[in-house]
Structure 1
Amino acid sequence: MLRNGDVVLQRYQIESALGQGGMGAVFRARHVHLDTEVAVKVLQRSTGPETAALMARFLREAKLVAKLNHPNIVRVLDFGLIPELDDAPCIVMELIDGPSFEDVLIDHGPQPFEVLLDVCIAAASGLTAAHEQGILHRDVKPANLVRAADGIRLVDFGIALPLADDVRLTRAGALVGTPIYMAPEHLLGAPATYATDLYALGVTLYELACGLPPYDDKDLGSLVQMAMKGPPAMEPPDDLPPIPGLFEQLVLRMLAPDPNRRPESAAHVAAAAMSIRKEARKRAARASSSALDDFARLSSDSSQSLPEVRPPAPPAESGVPPRTDSDVPSSIRERGTWSRPFPPVKKPSKS
């Protein structure tokens, strides 16, 4: 595998390893001429009979994502083969220096409503761009949503497929994806559709809100049975405000067991989430305005006055004569230090 300092495709110098994916390793690299940072994803070498299929799938990922020019989807910048690694293919992508929402969930726990809205709008907008090109992501989950400095990106299209190819793959008996984010009909063998991507987004949002997915079981049969019953209500932890009803309805619709009862498209989900955000901001502005109006009314009400502040009562007679200015040296009075000076220190007599 690649080491720090190696140069691939004659222009990308490897700086460090970033992680291991389902199909290969990912490295941080720098363009030797432009001095820009990139991510280089390299397919793991394999000598098994699946090598040709893996290489074809890897090439498909590069071509698919290269078609998707959208601010919420990771950009593909280059593609090529590495002769030093027996012509292993590599994809060069923009480097996103930020945590995945799986990391956010592990480090910070369930997320507030405002963050859920940001994730929903970004992911649904990215899926809209992919679906318009006839491309299914097939593995939407917190680990594949990354928070960058300028927004949220949908990443890892390693198992993405054109819709027609997914039908052929399903007929061959392959099950690709992460089971707890997969729609029940897909777990039962039906082809993936745009509705299965929306189901996975619904599970993702539910998990980010509540800290756990709506259902979780290592046994696929049990997982399907739970999913077919429909999702439980969303219950965020006590230290977070409750989820607004409109947003909860949207998430639960994405989790409907019947794909025909889910939102019509990712574009509809994005539009609904933006409408909910607009309404939430209006309500927040009205609440803030009402609070300011209450303060203004209080300030202008002449019947309201500050309570009278009385001076403290004089101390009780103690038999000690009160201190006067003459007791304090003038140098101390000028500094405003109203405390008696220490008595002078007597010099020791010479023996």
Structure 2
Amino acid sequence: MDAKAHGHRLVGSRYRLQERLGNGGMGAVWAAHDAVLGRDVAIKQVVLPAANTPEQRAEIRERSLREARAAARIDCPYAVHVFDVVEEDGELWIVMERVPGRSLSDLIQERGRLPAAQVIRIAQQILEALTTAHSGGVLHRDVKPSNVLIRPDGSAVLTDFGIAAVDGDPSITATGLVIGSPGYLAPERAAGGPATAATDLWALGCLIFAAYDGRSPFVRADSMATMQAVLTEEPALPGGPLAPVLRGLLAKNIVLRLSAETTRLMLRAAAASPLVAARATAAPGRPEPWAVSGPPAAGAIPLRRRRSGSHRRRSRLPVLLAALVAVGTLTVAA
């Protein structure tokens, strides 16, 4: 159904759709208003692919419903909050907070390298969101800059738990799905291994690298080249106080990769570095003294690109939604 037909529809007898804001892989994202609590929300309409068999559609619907309920258990200021799930007239709607701000990906594209102090704060907050999720048995599986929103106060919010998985789900391997974004996929996942907390930490390392260096460490011109880089190439690490964190998180050997607790301690030490403290009070826009990394690997794609005139214009909406959830590919516990 198109936007005009859905516009101002009341979902679940309380959520008034206002405007369609975008489309995810498995549905549409709407701005909506909760008429009961009087607050603005984001609401994701799950669209089941018509090409799938009835059995596949039923499985996607059931997994989507259970995953959304699982994500609602995650209580962390740096993870998007899921408020409600509504089933109505054969459709599934996931209601969550509407987060003002912009994506980390957009910020990197606009500014290139971000200051070390800012990167460290973002990393600490996303690490807290991940450890909270992991403690509840939930793996994110798609940590990347476009799934992080930066609020006006500078705090970060991890969004898009749409392909998250709950520990112990026997359908993770049965579905045969390859989950995640190739440039942020851990090598053991690229080789066909299972998702673990360590694979989320690898992706966090890729995210830190992208924010700190202005380019993704492994993204290449196509998916095959990207996967090959993940499996075989060592990125030229930038210098500075975050270099040890990056080296540890991007260890291809999972046994050698940093744990969440060690990562937390190393980020705290990096934040206390005299260089970081000095740069935090320096004039904005000046490059970090260590911000000259090695040359990009052959085929590396910088995140910062020149934008066309249409992209320079402000969005007609003042918020980005933390609701772009690829719900159709969820894998969750029974």
**TM-score range relative to shorter protein:** 0.7 to 0.9
CA distance in 1, matches of 2:277, 2:266: 17
Deviation at 1:233, TM superposition (A): 2.7
CA distance in 1, matches of 2:100, 2:276: 33
Aligned partner (choices 259, 265, 271) of residue 271 of structure 1: 265
Deviation at 1:172, TM superposition (A): 4.7
Q: Tell whether 2:254 aligns with 1:250.
A: no
Q: Residue 261 of structure 1 corresponds to which residue in structure 2?
A: 256
**Structure 1: gaps (5+ residues):** 236-242, 289-351
CA distance in 2, matches of 1:220, 1:20: 22
1:175-221 per-residue CA deviation (whole Å, 9 max, x = no partner) reads 11111100111111011111110111111111122222112235655
Q: Tell whether 2:103 aligns with 1:100.
A: yes
Report how many aligned residue pairs link the two structures: 274
Residues 164 and 33 (structure 1), Cα distance of their counterparts in 2 relative to 1, 3 Å cut: closer
- After TM superposition, list the pairs within 5 Å mapping 1:200-211 onto structure 2: 200-211=203-214
CA distance in 2, matches of 1:201, 1:98: 20
Q: Residue 303 of structure 1 corresponds to which residue in structure 2?
A: none
Asked whether the 8 Å contact 2:69–2:85 carries over to 1, the reply is no
Residues 33 and 264 (structure 1), Cα distance of their counterparts in 2 relative to 1, 3 Å cut: closer
Deviation at 1:148, TM superposition (A): 1.9
- After TM superposition, list the pairs within 5 Å mapping 1:235-314 onto structure 2: 235=238, 243-244=239-240, 246-265=241-260, 267-280=261-274, 284=278
TM-score normalised by length of structure 2: 0.75
Calculate percent identity across the aligned residue pairs: 32
Aligned partner (choices 73, 79, 83) of residue 73 of structure 1: 79
CA distance in 1, matches of 2:77, 2:198: 22
Aligned partner (choices 145, 159, 162) of residue 158 of structure 1: 162
CA distance in 2, matches of 1:260, 1:131: 18
Asked whether the 8 Å contact 2:45–2:94 carries over to 1, the reply is yes
Q: Which amino acid aligns with 1:66?
A: A
TM-score normalised by length of structure 1: 0.72
Structure 1 counterpart SS, 2:160: coil
Q: Residue 212 of structure 1 corresponds to which residue in structure 2?
A: 215
Q: Which amino acid aligns with 1:95?
A: R
Which of the pair has the greater relative contact order for Cα pairs under 8 Å at 6+ separation?
2
CA distance in 2, matches of 1:30, 1:61: 23
Moved beyond 6 Å, runs of 4+ = none
CA distance in 1, matches of 2:191, 2:235: 21
Asked whether the 8 Å contact 1:13–1:32 carries over to 2, the reply is yes
Q: Which amino acid aligns with 1:206?
A: F
CA distance in 2, matches of 1:39, 1:275: 37
Structure 1 counterpart SS, 2:69: helix
Structure having the larger proportion of residues in helix: 1
CA distance in 2, matches of 1:5, 1:283: 50
Deviation at 1:281, TM superposition (A): 7.7
